[in-house]
Amino acid sequence: MKWLKRTREREKRRDERQRELMLKADYLIYKKKLFLRPNFTKQDLAEALGTNRTYLGEALSTCRRCKWEEYINSFRLRFFMEEVCLTDTMHIRIDELAERCGFGCANTLNKYMKRKYGITAAVYRKNMAGYFRKDDRNNPAEAP
């Protein structure tokens, strides 16, 4: 039974180290906006964190339950959605927005939008533009 207790303690320490690594990864990617680099790799992040990509991959699987592409693109998706909500993007082409958000192309942006939300980036942007226009009309304090 001692071996079982030691094994559980080792697993607990490993899990804690992985959680700590992922917190550092989240912070670094978000704070330095590393996700905006289209060619940013798991190897790049591992080097920045002082670990290797195998251990980083294990931590991703354990703590975030996803693979590298899903992980990095979740930051890009969030950034895209914030851009659309906080700025007027109707005059910017979707492929330009995709590149600005770190996606290699609009197809990748749309793939992740459809997978996560069931709609394309253009539909999301149109819905948000309509939402904010309605909101502006209904708020007399904002009217000129």
Burial of 1 (C-beta count, 10 Å sphere; 0-12/13-18/19+): exposed
Token digits of residue 127: 């819905």
pLDDT at 132 over 80: no
- Percent of the chain past pLDDT 70, that is, above it, reads 90
pLDDT at 138 over 60: no
Q: What angle do CA 38, 41, 42 make, to 5 degrees?
A: 145
pLDDT at 2 over 50: yes
* Residue-level pLDDT at 133: 55
Question: Domain 74-139 is in which class?
Answer: mainly alpha
Total Cβ atoms within 10 A of residue 58: 14
> How confident is the model over 44-81, as pLDDT tens digits?
999 999 999 999 999 999 999 999 999 999 999 999 99
